[in-house]
């Protein structure tokens, strides 16, 4: 479960029919979409525009992920998806992420995600922008 830490970003998401299989259970890959949205909104909430990064030849890619599915979310559930930065280097940042049932805060899914910074034109690793390094430093 998440603590009430200012470093934990929470994004509420409703489970729609498009997220589920024929039995109304969230398809496993949809959790990755939810987590991607939460990380993107975490960045946006810190004042960093992703479009500006693209213009500066910066992109972010998932380099590594360890995920544990515990209990399935179902059609019409309201979930909270968290993003918490837990470590970083000059070229990557690591997040702890959870998907919780909103009402009960029951843990449905959790993951450790490492996101690398790359040059958009070459796909090669590049240094995180200074503003992102500062945000990560202040989140520690």
Element (H, E) at 90: none
Q: Which residues participate in catalysis according to the annotation? A: 21
* Residue that is written with structure tokens 């009960």 in the block: 104
Kindly state the tokens that stand for 47.
């004042």
Contact 80/99 with Cβ under 8 angstroms? Answer: yes
SS3 assignment, position 8: coil
SS3 assignment, position 42: helix
Q: What is the chain's Cα-based Rg?
A: 16
């Amino acid at each position: 479960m998440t603590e009430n830490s200012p470093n934990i970003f929470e994004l509420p998401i409703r489970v729609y029919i498009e997220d589920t299989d024929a039995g109304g259970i969230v398809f496993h890959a949809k959790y990755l979409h939810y987590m991607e949205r939460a990380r993107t909104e975490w960045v946006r909430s810190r004042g960093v525009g992703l479009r500006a990064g693209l213009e500066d030849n910066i992109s972010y890619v998932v380099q590594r992920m360890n995920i544990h599915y515990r209990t399935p979310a179902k059609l019409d559930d309201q979930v909270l998806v968290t993003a918490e930065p837990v470590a970083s280097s000059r070229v990557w940042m690591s997040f702890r992420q959870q998907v919780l049932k909103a009402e009960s805060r029951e843990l449905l899914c959790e993951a450790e995600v490492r996101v690398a910074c790359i040059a958009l034109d070459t796909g090669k690793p590049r240094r995180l922008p200074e503003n992102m390094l500062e945000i990560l430093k202040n989140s520690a």
